[in-house]
Amino acid sequence: MALEKQRFDTLILGAGGAGLNAALQLANANLKVAVVSKVFPTRSHTVAAQGGVNAALANVLPDNWHWHMFDTVKGSDYLGDQDAIEYMCREAIPTVYELEHNGVPFSRLTNGKIYQRAFGGQSQNFGGEQAARTCAAADRTGHAILHTLYQQNIRAKTHFYDEYFAVDLIKDKEGIVVGALVLNIATGEPLLIESTTTLLATGGCGQVFRTTSNAHINTGDGMAMVLRAGLPLMDMEFFQFHPTGIAGKGMLITEGVRGEGGYLINKDGDRFMEKYAPNAKDLASRDVVSRSIVTEVRDGHGCGPEADHVMLKVNHLSEDVIAKRLPGIRESSRIFAGVDPVKDPIPVFPTAHYVMGGIPTDRFGRVMPTSEDNGEHLPGLYAAGECACASVHGANRLGGNSLLDILVFGRLAGHNIIDYVKDNGTHRPLDEAAVEQAMGRLARWENKGEGLSVSQLRNEFRKTMEDHAGVFRVEEMMAEGVEKVRQIREKLSDVRLTDHSSTFNINRTEALELENMIDVGLSIAVSALHRKESRGAHSRPDYPKRNDAEWMKHTLYWQENDKLDYKGVRVQPLTVESFPPKERVY
Amino acid sequence: MVIQDSDLTNIERLRWQCRRGMLELDVLLEAFLEQRYVALSPRLKRHFVQLLEFPDPVIHAWCVQGQRPEDEEFAELISSIRATSVA
Ligand SMILES: Cc1cc2nc3c(=O)[nH]c(=O)nc-3n(C[C@H](O)[C@H](O)[C@H](O)COP(=O)(O)OP(=O)(O)OC[C@H]3O[C@@H](n4cnc5c(N)ncnc54)[C@H](O)[C@@H]3O)c2cc1C
């Protein structure tokens, strides 16, 4: 049967905040836009963002985009590109107003202006007093943004392919991306979407770790597609862990619990943070607390039958305090950990939360294929959102800056695509060999017989990533981890599906996701092994210091032979002076 | 949404509908589908299919946070979801 084909000006893979904001610009400019999403758009992971989005509106306390820029550069541990960061912090202000005009119901002050909350890492005057920079729509900011953008896109006649799974990018003979092969999950039918421009907006990859706060859809599909297309991923060693996820499950237990007086204990009941951070104790920074928890477990002080987690004690706080100041915690703990925190401590372990690295793009959302910083980019291919690395978060992301990143760079990619299509509006002939290769990846799952199950190999892989490329990173165990992940990649060919039906074959979708996760996991493990310093979220007890002389540079990873290369950080902002690296103390 | 009888029995389709934007819902809804759905009455099955059409924060408020939905009929389904063992 002939493969069905459809043509669009632009193909957008992913319908989270980044994809939808790009699509809206394009549809409003009357381009023919297709948006592909493996789940219904408003079920994208952006819906989970409750905290809010940063913009220096100065509605509550004095503020200014330049201070926001300083905080972001410092937060990035000086690995962020300062031109992109300046751009993002300036654009934050019109971006939030545009959302407001489009109908996002931001919470308001009595004077009618948008209300803004204070969050960690926000300062006035370049490191001075606390700033209040985060705009929120009650505790449903992500949902409000997605819902509004989706409605606007429907009005602008964006074409949605809901519950279609993108399999691979398709190139022409010169290596230019001319579309993608996607799979209709409901029918099992493949579809080839041809486009003059393609935007990857497929979100994060937290599922590569056993314990993660990310939804099951976050399997790094777009990143893996880029790797298979022979393009690099950047700074993949930088993964933000939140110290207190429910053990073995990953759901976040907010920092507020420790703020209200909750503290961590090991199996002997010792308050171990006193040992690792005598002053700040349980309120030390995220990376310090995460590493302390893993160290306790590794040293044999873990709790539970597997001795694989620690406990967060809150039962010394009154039921009233828990109900009033920590709403939600009691219900989450009861359902997901099976404990009532009013009576018993909550089992916790660091949970993988956000990937700072991703598909390298320039400040215009264009994908950059090499380590040369000479403006070279791949014509017609763009990336935005958590799957991309513009690089505004560097080695560590600040709360509220991710929604900002996806919205600003989604919108900007949209504008740049409009300009590109004006001069390059004709479809290029695709390379049939590339189509066949992508179809082959689908056909491979039709192999029948005995073999490993998807879930068996997935469990082994995610545990390996957690143990060998997670919070605790020392040379020997990381090298062992790289080997193990390589072996797991080999085992993929032994995996067989248990379901061979064509309609709603979730088993096959999960197999494709597993392959993606393994590709992305290896990029994390290899990049992390080779960065011999501690910076931001990447902490190496064997190289405990940041080393600007040798390591103030971005890692680039290619799948072929696990090749690595490096390129310098762009320290020159657009209009202001550069912020030189300083020790990051809070 | 008009719900057909076939919607109630297409378990694989429902499994994909349980893929949400929030980890809490993924875990809870998938476990419910696995452990309890098949034994439900057709009426409650229909409610489950309806529930999956609601936005994530609403399902979260009802199923995780324990807020009571106005429709008492939904309440029965939701307490069954909340009693699913996922710990
Ligand atoms: C619990 C939690 C809370 C958070 N809170 C905040 C916060 O308060 N503030 C903040 O700034 N950030 C927050 N973040 C981070 C932020 O939510 C994400 O970084 C951001 O929403 C990512 O948006 P995105 O548009 O890049 O991708 P997503 O919203 O993840 O969307 C990805 C899209 O790609 C599609 N897709 C993926 N793979 C495929 C494929 N193979 N085929 C077809 N479609 C595909 C998906 O269907 C989806 O539509 C939070 C993260 C978590 C985990």
Task: Decide if B12 is inside a domain.
Answer: yes
Residue nearest to atom 44 of ligand 1 (CA): A37
Q: Are residues A174 and A252 in the same domain?
A: no
Q: Which phi-psi region, left, alpha or beta, contains residue A66 (left: φ > 0; alpha: ψ -120 to 50)?
A: alpha
Task: Decide if A120 is inside a domain.
Answer: no
Q: Are residues A307 and A381 in the same domain?
A: no
Q: Are residues A445 and A560 in the same domain?
A: yes
Reported as a pLDDT band with limits 50, 70 and 90, residue A73 is very high
Across A83-87, A498-502, A570-574, least confident range? A498-502
Q: Are residues A151 and A267 in the same domain?
A: no
Using the Cβ of A203 and the Cβ atoms of chain B, whether some distance falls under 8 Å is answered with no
pLDDT for A288 beyond 90: no
Task: Decide if B33 is inside a domain.
Answer: yes
Q: Are residues A310 and A410 in the same domain?
A: no
Which residues between 170 and 189 in chain A have a beta carbon less than 8 angstroms from any beta carbon of chain B?
Answer: 185-186
Look up the CATH number of the domain holding residue A336. Answer: 3.90.700.10
Helical segments of A103-206, H only: 141-155
A231-258 tens-digit pLDDT: 999 999 999 999 999 999 999 998 888 8
Active site residue A286: yes
Note down the domain range covering B55.
5-82
Q: What is the pLDDT of residue B4?
A: 85
Q: What is the pLDDT of residue B87?
A: 79
Q: Which of B15, B23, B86 best probes binding to A when mutated, by most A CB atoms within 10 angstroms?
A: B23
Q: Are residues A42 and A88 in the same domain?
A: yes
Task: Decide if A123 is inside a domain.
Answer: no
Q: Percentage of chain A surpassing pLDDT 90?
A: 88
Rounded to an integer, the average pLDDT of A544-550 is: 95
- What whole-number distance in Å separates Cα of residue A289 and Cα of residue A207? 22
Structural domain total, chain B:
1
- Given A297, A325, A352, the domain boundary residue is A352
Q: Are residues A462 and A555 in the same domain?
A: yes
Give residues with Cβ within 8 angstroms of A500, minimum separation 6.
A446, A448
- What whole-number distance in Å separates Cα of residue B10 and Cα of residue B4? 10
Task: Decide if A560 is inside a domain.
Answer: yes
Q: Please list every protein residue whose CB sits less than 6 Å from any atom of ligand 1.
A: A 13-19, 36-39, 41, 44-46, 48-53, 142, 165-166, 201-204, 213-214, 217, 221-222, 252, 353-354, 385-387, 400-403, 406
Q: Which of A286, A291, A330, A428 is catalytic?
A: A286
**Which residue from B minimizes the CA distance to A165?**
B16
Q: Are residues A199 and A321 in the same domain?
A: no
pLDDT for A586 beyond 70: no
Q: Are residues A36 and A179 in the same domain?
A: yes
Q: Do residues A78 and A19 touch, judged by C-beta distance below 8 A? A: no
Task: Decide if A415 is inside a domain.
Answer: yes
Q: Are residues A205 and A266 in the same domain?
A: no
**Which residue from B minimizes the CA distance to A353?**
B23
Q: Are residues A380 and A322 in the same domain?
A: no
Please give the distance, rounded to the nearest whole angstrom, from the Cα atom of residue A16 to the centre of ligand 1. Answer: 6
- Given A334, A352, A370, the domain boundary residue is A352
Task: Decide if B26 is inside a domain.
Answer: yes
Task: Decide if B87 is inside a domain.
Answer: no
- Given A352, A369, A397, the domain boundary residue is A352
The DSSP code sequence of B13-75 is: HHHHHT--SSHHHHHHHHHHHHHTGGGS-HHHHHHHHHHTTS-HHHHIIIIIS-PPPSSHHHH
Task: Decide if B49 is inside a domain.
Answer: yes
Reported as a pLDDT band with limits 50, 70 and 90, residue B49 is very high
Note down the domain range covering A254.
244-352
Look up the CATH number of the domain holding residue A174. Answer: 3.50.50.60
Structural domain total, chain A:
2
Q: Are residues A490 and A586 in the same domain?
A: yes
Q: What is the pLDDT of residue A150?
A: 97
Q: Do residues A206 and A214 touch, judged by C-beta distance below 8 A? A: yes
Q: What is the pLDDT of residue B13?
A: 94
Across A3-12, A18-27, A558-567, B61-70, least confident range? B61-70
Look up the CATH number of the domain holding residue B11. Answer: 1.10.150.250
A347-394 tens-digit pLDDT: 999 999 999 999 999 989 999 998 888 878 899 999 999 999 999 999
Q: What is the pLDDT of residue A374?
A: 81
Q: What is the pLDDT of residue A259?
A: 82
